[in-house]
Structure 1
Amino acid sequence: MKARQGVLVVHSTDGRLFAMENACPHQGYPLSQGTVAGCIVTCPWHNFKFDAQTGACVMGEEAARTHEVRVVDGIVEVRRDLSIDAAAVWASLTEGMRRVQMSRVARDVCRLLAAGVPATELLAWGAAWDADRCEYGLGHATALASDLVGWLDRPPAGVSLEEHRVQVVTEALDLAARSVVGLVPRARPEPARVEDGAAALNGLRERVEAEDAVGAEAWVRGMVLAGWSRSQLEVALYPLVADHFLDFGHELIYVGKALDLLDAAGPKQADSLLGGLVFGITNGTREDLLPTWRAFRARWVAFVAEDGPARAFAARSEGVRDLDAEAVLVREIGEGTAAACFGAVAAALTSGRWDTVVNALVLAGAERILRFDLHHDADPTVEEGWLDVTHRFTSANAARQAVGRWAHPDGARLLLSVAHFVNLARPLDGPGDAVSAGSAPEGASFAELQAWVLEDHTARAIFFAHDVKTLVAAEAESRRLDDPAPMQAAARFLKNPLSERPIRRFAHQAVRLVRDGKPPHGLTG
């Protein structure tokens, strides 16, 4: 083998001549310092092996680049082509995702960005990777991809824009790959024939309520095929997450995140994302049917009997922000009984001040993080931890988007449900005033917290996703409310220790169930 000007010329042991890039595609070490056997070139640094004829990697990860070679009058001539074969890189990225080879994924992301593929397209593609393979419905990968769209042009100080974008996209793809590792794309139903109008909306809602996940996915695929706009899809999707409080608020969050991602990346992945979304909504745990929600259900029935949702919607208006009314609601949601919480929120809604309710929900959710007793996260005998409490805040943030974009009386149920969800977490607070807003880190800016998150302090991708989701919501809410509490809450969550490995907790719960026949010990019901 001989190398010159970055090109390696390989004389195979049977006398044939080949040319390839001298830099190993894995980490760039010179292949010329390796060995050749037949037409297989071995890189000595990690023992990756490449077929010099095709560049195919026969042991390792992605392929090496090959070039045309010929001999003219005893002189070896190489036509060196350094253009990026986007189709080949997409194929390599797909294989890297399947095998969860994240260094390979990062390199292929870098190559595709250099070839002009928009970062938003890569983020949506990664979200669709998860959505197409998910067993029970679209997961955190879509939310993370959506959140990271806003970070693409905001590199931390000292980090180049190119490196930052490669990291941001790879972070999203890492979660997508790990969420569905070993799974293949699931069988999907053919799109239903769906027309615009009330019949279409009712058809989807009925299928979801009946837990007909296949039928519901077919229905929303029909909506996508028919070219429904975002506003039409919101009218179809938000009622589904208002009818029941699902999966710790995940599905409520995912509706807005999926639609935001499609706005940024275009509709190419709409079929995958919205199909996976509705599949997940249909399969989601209906927490409002749990015993801890029994009294809530009774209060809601009474509220409906009094025509409360319709009266609240008819009275809905916005005026000058009422800080005193917000403070009262924050106290009732955060510290009051479940009955007092419901009554206060219902009264505010029927008075028309939905904006006051939303602001109070967000601030009560932030206060929940600020008051969280850190001992719970480290205690394997307690089911709840840091992620449970952050969902109180991010669900409130998602509720703001929902009722801001979807005007309907059923929005009252959505807001009352989120209020109850935030209120249920009272037992997670620290004792007395031992943990309060005053103990949160002061002056933590978005730039400082974003840089901290991107330094990969979390080991598991799911925790990284919650770091990003909480910080994105906190920045938006602190700016909107001109209040430092949401950013203080994010800083407290990000800068305090948390238990990422759940095995000790799983072991405790296993013994509790198998030996004692008891469910996990939860503080919130």
Structure 2
Amino acid sequence: MTSTNDNWVAATTLAELSETGRKLVRLDGHQVAIFQTETGLYACNNRCPHEGFPLMEGTVSDGCVLTCNWHNWKFDLENGDTLVGGDKLRRYPVRVTDDGIVELDMTEPPQHQQRDEILSNLDEALHKNDYNRLSRELARLDMIGFDPLVAVKKAFALRMDRFEFGTTHAMPGAADWLTYRQELTDPYERLACLSEILGHIAWDSAYRPVYPFTTDVAAWSEADFSRAIEAEDENTAVSLVRGALADGMTWNDLRPAFARCAMRHYGGFGHSVIYVSKVSPLIDFLGDDALESLILPLTRHLCTVTREDLIPEFRAFHVVRKDWDDHVDREPAHREDFLGLPVARVLSRVRKSAGNPLTCYHALMEAAVWQVRHFDESVMYRTNMPIGTNVNWLDVTHAMTTAQAVRELASELPELWGDGLLQIGCFIGRNAKYVHKDGDPADYAGRSGIDWEGDSETILGDLLRDHTLYHGCTDFIEPVHRLKTISMVRSELALFPDAPWRKDMLVAVHRYVSSAFPRRRAVRVAYQSTTFVGRG
């Protein structure tokens, strides 16, 4: 068919269409389905926006309701609404000339209009935790020539007030996914990185109500912000942050205040320190205008996060930290100085060596790496265990990822080394109960067949590809934690290629990423529920 003018294209004739009431035509690279119904003529993309099945084979009812018979998605051909399903159906205006020619307006909407519609669809897909639709919307955005990073920025903005307790792993995970994406050339793998980001945001916020942030604005004061965080006064803390943003302060201006608050407590099992450290790379990717949607949830997190240093096992954190400057020493520390000790003794030993913080850091990192390499996996499978001993790979590897965040923040703000080293020490003391005391009985390093003295980038690159993008996990925390851990190892080995923990770190992360990871233990939960309730 030829174009009758700049916009309208002759598609068929009314006589041809009347024979069956529907006709498939191919125009400008599109398959278009035209329907003649009791309420009028309608044209739409033949490919269902769900999974691409032909709508020509669908059912028309109630005059203008088109049903895709593969998955029962329904579309109102009159106004374009998706009645059952998600993605919107592309429709084309129809007219009939005086001589019975059926013409379609094939004009593509302006790119900015298409972009805005795609971004407006994100909220519904995020709220319904519709991973496949999120991926399709990203693909559409890329197809019309827009950087799909705008969808990541939009997603954080749309869902920031749906995280009841503030920042989740979706935020730091996004930083690592975007960093990894830079290395990739395959378009599908690059898209998968973005899909994992949006999917994680959706997973953590789907079907949640709004937990509004105060709109009050107060003049920024780090001292007032610190006091508000300590008092768990979210409204005051948020109003101060809003004041800082209103005055044009950047993340570089605010990062020290957030870092100091995160380091003050052994909080959220190390998450606070990691979350603060990951804002900078995300801002580099998303731009300064994403700052509000990242740090308001982070402020909420700091106000609501658990403070493990207040429970008996970790109270030595503040005992040792008190009068720190009068007791800190430069006694050389080695891995063995920290292994096998309870928390209080580890922290006491940290103080003896913290006068040379980077040396102490290396000794603690080496101890953390050794524990991961020698983690006793059987604890993940035991049934008759108290709730407090529910540990898995995430618990033991968190010592390593927190250590990296500590190093990054304390290198910028040296006064934070003390708090940071003690946080790493808390992990070492806690994890001492969950390792093989006499080494690795399975000899993972020996039987793996890997040349651990070889190129670490080759070893880690294979892990990244096989266990992050191609993970096959049903949740998001497991693959993102693998990504976070492998990324941490790559970063630390690049910075310290001759570190004494190099080989152990490669073996440790390879063992972790390649191992089974039982996230839910039905009988253990039943046992713990029964024994807990039975105590009265």
TM-score by length of 1: 0.87
Q: Is the 8 A contact 2:320 2:351 kept in 1?
A: no
Q: What is the SS of the residue equivalent to 1:150?
A: helix
Q: Choose which of 419, 422, 426 in structure 1 pairs with 2:425.
A: 419
Against the structure 1 CA distance between its residues 87 and 274, is the aligned structure 2 distance closer, same or farther, given a 3 Å change threshold?
same
Identify if the C-alpha distance between structure 1 residues 300 and 377 changes in structure 2 by more than 3 Å, giving closer, same or farther: same
1:123 aligns with 2:123: no
* Counterpart for residue 140 of structure 1: 169
**Contact 2:268/2:308, CA 8 A, preserved across alignment:** yes
Name the SS of the counterpart of 1:131 in structure 2: helix
Indicate the SS of the match to 2:60: strand
Task: Call closer, same or farther: CA 1:440–1:272 in 2, change over 3 Å.
Answer: farther
> Residue 275 of structure 2 is aligned with which of 254, 257, 266?
254
Segments of structure 2 that go 5 or more residues without pairing to the other structure are 1-21, 452-457
| 1:476 counterpart = 2:491 | yes
2:503 corresponds to which letter in structure 1? P
Q: Tell me the equivalent position of 1:48.
A: 73
Aligned counterparts of 1:391 and 1:128: Cα–Cα separation in 2: 28
RMSD of Structure 2 on Structure 1 (CA) = 2.3
Pick from 431, 448, 455: which aligns with 2:437? 431
Partner in structure 2 of residue 318 of structure 1: none
Question: Residues 439, 481 of structure 1: CA spacing in aligned structure 2 closer, same or farther, 3 A cutoff?
Answer: farther
Alpha-carbon distance, 1:256 to partner:
1.0
Matched AA of 1:63: K
Q: Which residue of 1 aligns with 2:187?
A: 162
The offset of 1:468, in angstroms, is: 1.4
Q: Does 1:103 align with 2:128?
A: no
Q: Can you list the C-alpha shifts for 1:506-525, whole angstroms capped at 9, x where unaligned?
A: 322211210135xxxxxxxx
Of residues 361, 374, 382, the one that matches 1:358 is 361
C-alpha contact (below 8 Å) 1:25/1:63 kept by paired residues: yes
The aligned counterpart of 2:225 is 204
Question: Is the contact made by 1:149 and 1:264 (CA closer than 8 Å) also made in structure 2?
Answer: yes
Give, in whole Å, the separation in 2 of the partners of 1:369 and 1:249. Answer: 16
Q: Amino acid of the residue matched to residue 446 of structure 1?
A: L
Deviations 1:5-31 (A, max 9, x none): 0111121223x1121111111111211
State whether residues 130 and 141 of structure 1, in contact with CA within 8 Å, keep that contact through their aligned partners in structure 2: no
- 1:364-443 matches, within 5 Å, as 364-380=367-383, 381=385, 382-407=389-414, 409-435=415-441, 438=445, 441=448, 442-443=450-451
**Aligned counterparts of 2:315 and 2:129: Cα–Cα separation in 1:** 43
Is the CA contact (8 Å cut-off) linking 2:335 and 2:366 kept in structure 1?
yes
- Counterpart Cα distance in 2 of 1:291 and 1:439: 40
1:332 is matched with 337
Structure 1 residue 340, shift from structure 2 partner: 5.0
The aligned residue for residue 507 of structure 1 is 526
- Give the SS at the match of 1:193: coil
Aligned residues of 2:342 and 2:430 also touching (Cα < 8 A): no
The residue number in structure 2 matching 1:271 is 292
Shift of 1:422: 2.2
Q: Find the partner of 2:459 among 445, 458, 481.
A: 445
Provide the rounded CA distance (Å) in 2 between the counterparts of 1:513 and 1:343: 34
Task: Determine if the alignment matches structure 1 residue 341 to structure 2 residue 346.
Answer: yes
Distance 1:396 1:119, change over 3 A: farther
By how many angstroms is 1:149 displaced? 1.0
Q: CA deviation at 1:296?
A: 3.6
Indicate yes or no: 2:220 matched with 1:220.
Answer: no
SS of 2:334's partner is helix
Larger Cα-atom Rg: 2
What is residue 476 of structure 2 aligned with on the other side? 461
Seen in structure 2, the aligned counterparts of structure 1 residues 109 and 58 have a Cα distance that, compared at 3 Å, is same
Change in 2 beyond 3 A, CA 1:505/1:439:
farther
Query: 1:80: which partner in 2?
Result: 106
How far does residue 76 in structure 1 lie from its aligned partner after superposition?
Answer: 1.1
**Number of aligned residues:** 489
Distance 1:166 1:47 in 2: 28
CA contact (8 A) 1:93 1:105 kept: yes
- Whether the aligned pair in 2 keeps the contact of 1:128 and 1:272 (CA below 8 Å) is yes
Q: Distance in 2 between matches of 1:121 and 1:71?
A: 40
Give deviations 1:10-56, integer Å, cap 9, x for gaps.
Answer: 21223x11211111111112111222221111212212111122322
Deviations 1:259-313 (A, max 9, x none): 3212211122211210110111111111111101233432222424x174xxx8x
Cα separation, partners in 2 of 1:360 and 1:230, compared to 1, 3 Å: farther
Name the SS for the 1:70 alignment partner. Answer: strand
Between the two proteins, what is the percent identity of the paired residues? 26
Tell which deviates more after alignment, 453-462 or 121-130: 121-130
Which digits, 9 at most, give the CA deviation of each residue in 1:114-136, with x for residues without a partner?
Answer: 23443433334334455321112
2:268/2:306 contact within 8 Å kept = yes
Letter aligned with residue 415 of structure 1: L
Q: What is the SS of the residue equivalent to 1:346?
A: helix
Shift of 1:194: 2.1
Partner Cα separation in structure 1 for residue 477 and residue 159 of structure 2: 13
Is residue 2:200 matched to residue 1:181? no
Is 1:94 equivalent to 2:123 in the alignment? yes
